[in-house]
Structure 1
Amino acid sequence: MNHKTVAVTTFAAVALVVTALAAAITFGGPAPIAPLASINAPFAKADFSGVPAPRSFTARDGTAMAWLHYPAAGNAQNARRVVLVHGSSARARSMHVLARALAGAGFEVAALDMRGHGDSGPRGQAAYVGQLEDDVEDFARAVPHAGPSTLLGFSSGGGFVLRFAGGTRQDLFDRYVLLSPYLRYDAPTARPDNGGWVSIGLPRLVGLHLLNKAGVGVWNNLPVLNFGLNDTARPMLTPSYSFTLATSFGPHNDYAGDIRGARGAMHIVAGRDDELFRADRFADVFTAAGKTVPVTLVPGVNHMGLTLDSAAFDAVIQACRT
């Protein structure tokens, strides 16, 4: 084979790869998804009376970030603070029922609107991967607390808490609580079709991941996830995530590395009837990654029940204490 033939063959191969990537990114986005009743319906019955007025702090990029404050019962001095991270598409208000229970149990509670959600920046977007970790650090600096602190996350928020727990800023909290944490779409804990909650634009997701490895991030604002929200929830929540937000709000792709890197105390709580994740596999996944973590499975509780069903609250409160 002469040099000209080699050059032509190489050019053709490169052109094919570029064409495949372009097609994946252009046409491989997430499909529409039907509302998932088990996620949407429970909120219609929940008691959202007494939601506190939103407060704000300023992140390092100048964005006003929203959060809710729930003082500890009796205004206990130096009570342990629990910082709540909501689940995918949600906002701080979605954690109100659990936040109220934690405050009643003597914890100082702060529920965050994570960037890209609620009133914290453009919904569905983040400027760069890792920005949400910066935001949590900025909150800890802007709203200091004299007592010990727990970072607690639910679902995708639980995956993000794992990311933070295994990162370089993990010493900002001495305890981490993960409520039915999202690990990865292909983790042993995942159910087929993501339990019907999320539509993944996998071709676009993979294509953008490859481009980012090559240092190209110009299309990172494109959506890669759609969530099964109903028409009532859609205007209040976040229907889709860009590549940047989807990559930031959860553990790293090497979630086992996050598990191994976490030095602080950690506890997992999940409902036995969780319809999104295989709750009975959390313990084995963490053990296989090299960290034995206490796992509490609450009978008769599904995914959303962890934050809305009083049957789960004793387990969550105990996880925050031990």
Structure 2
Amino acid sequence: MTFIILALVVLVAAIALALVFGGPRRPPPMPSISAPFAQVDFSDLPEQSTFRAEDGQALAYRQYRTHTDTDSGSVVLVHGSSAGSASMHPLAKAMAAAGFSVYTLDMRGHGASGRKGHIDRIGQLESDLKVFVREMCPPQPSTLVGFSAGAGFALRVAGSADQKLFDRYLLLAPFIGDQAPTQRPRNGGWAEVGVPRFLAILLLNAMGFRFANAMTVIRFALSEEAGASLTPEYDFNLASNFRPLRDYVSAIRCARQPCSVVAGLADEVFRSEQLEGIVRKAGRNWEVSLLPNIGHIQLTLEPSAIAAVVSQLHGQ
């Protein structure tokens, strides 16, 4: 009995130390992620609109209406980690010009949607997406397009029981998982995870305790200026929800809707050359397009990359 009590005391002490001292450090700014947006023309950025989530929270989105006679269906665009709907502006404009009705979201915990870096529970992002689709009724065929962490979230949806929310899925430079072959150390310098704190909260969750879920577990490589307008850190709930399921192979196998992948071979955040092998190993024949000389953010800003993404949409 004494040994059991001593072991419990040691475990509690270890968890407490990990929670207090095991958080993420702030990484130095990563210019290749933030700097390219200084050259983007945001003068024609659509005004934000809002919809009400199940809990009454107003969540923001932007709508790009097509000005062509071509009815290509709709696209719902999900931004990457720390970003918001405005980061998808060049891509959204090109998709609208190609005949798609386009919606760009501020995912809860980002931009104008709720408290930055925080969500109330794991699974809340899927609930928000279902309400958005129900309220907005995006024209069919509908495609969920995600970029980076947003692509990981799109994969999470594509492999879930809710996968028929959309007719198709397109993953751009996707975050596949922490243990996936695509992963670079520290996400190429983009993100710092407080591993001791994250593991401690994971253990607490396994025991049914959620009191530490609002603690910060990830910080992003943003400058002070960029961090003021973006989302510089995530709590445990958001970090666990805005990503694919941890068993990413099972998620790929469970996805039944058409899906394709586009990434740049010069991606400094992920090892994009590993993507096709992951998809094939999971038994899927998805088209995987790897663009030479295209980096992570360039995939959404470089005209040739945008053209390739729009072409992939038309080809699905």
Deviation per CA, 1:248-271, whole angstroms, max 9, x where unpaired? 000111111211111110110001
1:3 aligns to what? none
Deviation per CA, 1:193-213, whole angstroms, max 9, x where unpaired? 210000100111111111111
1:241 aligns to what? 234
Deviation per CA, 1:76-129, whole angstroms, max 9, x where unpaired? 55x310000000000000100110011111111000000000001000000100
1:120 aligns to what? 113
Q: Are the aligned partners of 2:118 and 2:214 in contact in 1 as well (CA < 8 Å)? A: yes
Which of 257, 276, 282 lines up with 1:264 in the alignment?
257
Which of 189, 196, 209 lines up with 1:196 in the alignment?
189
| TM superposition shift of 1:75 | 6.0
Q: Within 5 Å, give how 1:91-240 maps onto structure 2.
A: 91-240=84-233
- Letter in structure 1 aligned against 2:186: D
Q: Which moved more, 1:282-291 or 1:305-314?
A: 282-291
SS at match of 1:204: helix
Q: Are the aligned partners of 1:73 and 1:107 in contact in 2 as well (CA < 8 Å)? A: no
1:33 aligns with 2:55: no
1:282 aligns with 2:299: no
SS at match of 2:68: helix
2:41 aligns to what? 47
In the alignment, the residues of structure 1 paired with residue 263 and residue 61 of structure 2 have an alpha-carbon distance, to the nearest angstrom, of 25
Q: Are the aligned partners of 2:101 and 2:139 in contact in 1 as well (CA < 8 Å)? A: no
In the alignment, the residues of structure 1 paired with residue 262 and residue 293 of structure 2 have an alpha-carbon distance, to the nearest angstrom, of 13
2:60 aligns to what? 66
SS at match of 1:111: strand
Q: Which moved more, 1:107-116 or 1:14-23?
A: 14-23
Q: Which moved more, 1:283-292 or 1:223-232?
A: 283-292
| TM superposition shift of 1:290 | 2.5
In the alignment, the residues of structure 2 paired with residue 174 and residue 224 of structure 1 have an alpha-carbon distance, to the nearest angstrom, of 34
1:4 aligns to what? none
- Letter in structure 1 aligned against 2:47: A
Deviation per CA, 1:118-144, whole angstroms, max 9, x where unpaired? 001000000100000011111001111
Deviation per CA, 1:228-281, whole angstroms, max 9, x where unpaired? 111221111100000000000001111112111111101100011000000000
The normalised TM-score by structure 2 is 0.97
Deviation per CA, 1:128-170, whole angstroms, max 9, x where unpaired? 0000001111100111134210000000000000000011111
SS at match of 1:135: helix
In the alignment, the residues of structure 2 paired with residue 260 and residue 33 of structure 1 have an alpha-carbon distance, to the nearest angstrom, of 35
| TM superposition shift of 1:73 | 2.5
1:10 aligns to what? 4
Gaps of 5+ in 1: 1-6
The normalised TM-score by structure 1 is 0.96
In the alignment, the residues of structure 1 paired with residue 234 and residue 296 of structure 2 have an alpha-carbon distance, to the nearest angstrom, of 21
| TM superposition shift of 1:49 | 2.0
Q: Are the aligned partners of 1:183 and 1:251 in contact in 2 as well (CA < 8 Å)? A: yes
Instruction: Give aligned-pair identity as a percent.
Output: 45
1:306 aligns to what? 299
SS at match of 2:224: coil
In the alignment, the residues of structure 1 paired with residue 286 and residue 19 of structure 2 have an alpha-carbon distance, to the nearest angstrom, of 38
In the alignment, the residues of structure 1 paired with residue 277 and residue 293 of structure 2 have an alpha-carbon distance, to the nearest angstrom, of 22
| TM superposition shift of 1:186 | 2.5
1:293 aligns with 2:289: no
- Letter in structure 2 aligned against 1:48: F
SS at match of 2:279: helix
Q: Which moved more, 1:97-106 or 1:289-298?
A: 289-298
- Letter in structure 2 aligned against 1:66: A
In the alignment, the residues of structure 2 paired with residue 250 and residue 146 of structure 1 have an alpha-carbon distance, to the nearest angstrom, of 26
Deviation per CA, 1:21-48, whole angstroms, max 9, x where unpaired? 1111111110111100110110111222
| TM superposition shift of 1:17 | 1.4
Gaps of 5+ in 2: none
- Letter in structure 2 aligned against 1:60: E
Q: Are the aligned partners of 2:140 and 2:167 in contact in 1 as well (CA < 8 Å)? A: no
SS at match of 1:167: coil
Q: Are the aligned partners of 1:160 and 1:249 in contact in 2 as well (CA < 8 Å)? A: yes
